[in-house]
Amino acid sequence: MSKKDDLKAPDPFLKFTMELWDKLYAMRKVLGLLVLVIIVGAIGFAAITAHKNGLRSRAGAALGEALAVQQRPVKGDDDATVSADPNQTPFKTNAEKQQAIVSALEGVIAKYPGTEAATNALIPLASAQLALGKLDDAQRNDTAFLAAATRDPQFRALAQLGLANVAEAKKDWTTAGNAYATLQTSAPHAFLKDQAALGKARMLEKAGKKQEAAAAYAEVKDGFAGSPVAREATERLAFLATLGVHPPVRAAPQPPPSGAGTAPKAD
pLDDT tens per residue across span 130-145? 999 999 999 999 999 9
What is the pLDDT of the chain when averaged over all its residues? 79
Instruction: Flag whether 32 is in a domain.
Output: no
Instruction: Flag whether 225 is in a domain.
Output: yes
Instruction: Flag whether 230 is in a domain.
Output: yes
Distance CA 199, CA 115 (A): 32
Instruction: Flag whether 236 is in a domain.
Output: yes
Distance CA 57, CA 60 (A): 5
Give the model's pLDDT for residue 88: 72
Of 85-89, 112-116, 125-129, which one has max mean pLDDT?
125-129
- pLDDT over threshold 90, residue 109: yes
Give the model's pLDDT for residue 101: 93
Instruction: Flag whether 52 is in a domain.
Output: no
Per-residue pLDDT band for 85 (boundaries 50, 70, 90) equals: low
Instruction: Flag whether 196 is in a domain.
Output: yes
What pTM was computed for the model? 0.69
3-state secondary structure the chain: CCHHHHHHCCCHHHHHHHHHHHHHHHCHHHHCHHHHHHHHHHHHHHHHHHHHHHHHHHHHHHHHHHHHHHHCCECCCCCCCCCCCHHHCCECCHHHHHHHHHHHHHHHHHHCCCCHHHHHCHHHHHHHHHHCCCHHHHHHHHHHHHHCCCCCHHHHHHHHHHHHHHHHHCCCHHHHHHHHHHHHHHCCCHHHHHHHHHHHHHHHHHCCCHHHHHHHHHHHHHHCCCCHHHHHHHHHHHHHHHCCCCCCCCCCCCCCCCCCCCCCCCC
Instruction: Flag whether 190 is in a domain.
Output: yes
Per-residue pLDDT band for 9 (boundaries 50, 70, 90) equals: very low
Instruction: Flag whether 233 is in a domain.
Output: yes
Summarize the confidence of residues 179-197 as an average pLDDT.
88
Distance CA 112, CA 120 (A): 12
In the three-class reduction of DSSP (H, G, I as helix; E, B as strand; rest coil), residue 21 is classed as helix
Question: What total of structural domains would you count in the chain?
Answer: 1
Range of the domain at 232: 172-247
Weakest mean pLDDT among 69-83, 192-206, 214-228? 69-83
